[in-house]
Chains A and B, each alone.
Chain A
Amino acid sequence: MNGAIRALLVIAFVALVTFFTRLLPFVLFPEGKETPPYVKYLGKVLPFAIIAMLMVYCLKGTSLLEWPYGLPELIAVAAVVVLHLWKKNTLLSIGVGTVLYMLLVQFVFIT
């Protein structure tokens, strides 16, 4: 098969399957029908759990057993939490946290 066509097909498959995973719940529980209470309940509590998971996902590469023992991550996450509780400004918390983390990994905890 021609390389370019093959590449396009791969991208098309990835796009279709990705859309399928996003579409599935909306097909199973359409607007017209009453969504089962159990699914509604999951929809209500899952966002809290999933955000926690995404946070862990972002930090999954952190090694606690070797230098720098996750210190840059710990310091930067703590800074974001404190700053956000204090100023409640999303962009400020993300901006300062990111710059702090970059400084930490580039200049302080050099690996």
Chain B
Amino acid sequence: MSIFIYAGSMQFVAVDLLATGAGFLQVILMTLMVNIRHVFYGISMLGKFRNLGAKKPYMIFSLTDETFSLLCTAEPPKNVDRNWFFFFIALFNQLYWIVGSVVGGLLGSSFSFNTQGIDFAMTALFVVIFVNQWREAKSHVPALVGLVCSLVCLLLFGADNFILPALIGMVVLLSVFRGRLDRPEEGAAT
């Protein structure tokens, strides 16, 4: 699953779907619900993924939350080809994921070290990227829109259902603010 699906939360859901014997239609709808957020990642990467040539299909396939977030702020060092840099971020991300899945599968039961709280690494990653973006951004409005929309939708729709309403809310609000935010001098910064 880590090779072909490669979508963390969906793989957990898939285990559930396998175990409960869900119908194929349910599998398809569930996957759409859980992963529809990727559409918005793709929209954000339209500019960055231009001229990737043969690497593009893999880059699209491997556009997970984590890869997306790294690609948001990562800038290649000088003398490094930009496209290969992005490609290796995506590839290594998946390799770590596969290695992690295999090790977890093999050693999962014999592991005695208390890992409670280790999932905070993911939170910390997004916090770090948020801080980076906050420092680089010409306007803090998009970040604040995202934060407010997510928090409001979390309260309104609950932890399991807030992602899609939050994304829609963001698009609506960002469209409202477009007159203010979409100025030519701020363009081309993708």
B124:A94 contact, CB within 8 angstroms: yes
Check A56 against B151 for contact (C-beta < 8 Å): yes
Assess whether B142 is in contact with A45, with CB atoms less than 8 Å apart. Answer: yes
Q: Is B171 an interface residue (CB 8 A)?
A: yes
CA distance A98 to B47 in the complex (A): 33
Question: In the complex, A105 Cα to B10 Cα: how many Å?
Answer: 27
Interface 0/1 of A25-63, CB less than 8 Å to B:
110010100010111111111111111111111111100
Are B174 and A18 touching (Cβ within 8 A)? no
Question: A26–B63 Cα gap in the complex (Å)?
Answer: 12
CB of B146 within 8 A of CB of A39, answer no
Complex contact B189–A44 (CB within 8 A): yes
Q: Contact at A45–B174, with CB atoms within 8 Å?
A: yes
Nearest-CB distance from B125 to chain A (Å)?
6
Number of residues from A at the complex interface, CB < 8 A: 64
Asked if A18 and B5 sit within 8 Å, CB to CB, the answer is yes
Bound together, the chains give a CA A38 to CA B147 distance in angstroms of 22
Would A57 and B150 count as touching, CB distance under 8 A? yes
Ranked 8 nearest A-B pairs via Cβ: A49-B146, A52-B146, A25-B42, A48-B142, A56-B150, A102-B117, A101-B120, A58-B123
Residue positions of B touching A, CB distance < 8 A: 1, 4-7, 10, 14, 17-18, 21-22, 24, 27-28, 31-32, 35-47, 49-51, 56, 60-61, 63, 65, 68-69, 72, 114-133, 137, 141-147, 149-151, 154, 159, 162-163, 166-167, 170-171, 174-175, 178, 181-182, 186-187, 189-190
Would you mind naming 28 contact pairs between A and B with Cβ atoms under 8 Å apart?
Answer: A10-B17, A10-B24, A11-B14, A13-B31, A14-B10, A18-B6, A18-B10, A19-B61, A22-B35, A26-B46, A26-B56, A40-B46, A42-B43, A43-B190, A46-B43, A47-B44, A51-B72, A52-B147, A53-B170, A54-B65, A57-B150, A60-B159, A76-B120, A77-B127, A81-B127, A97-B127, A102-B117, A106-B114
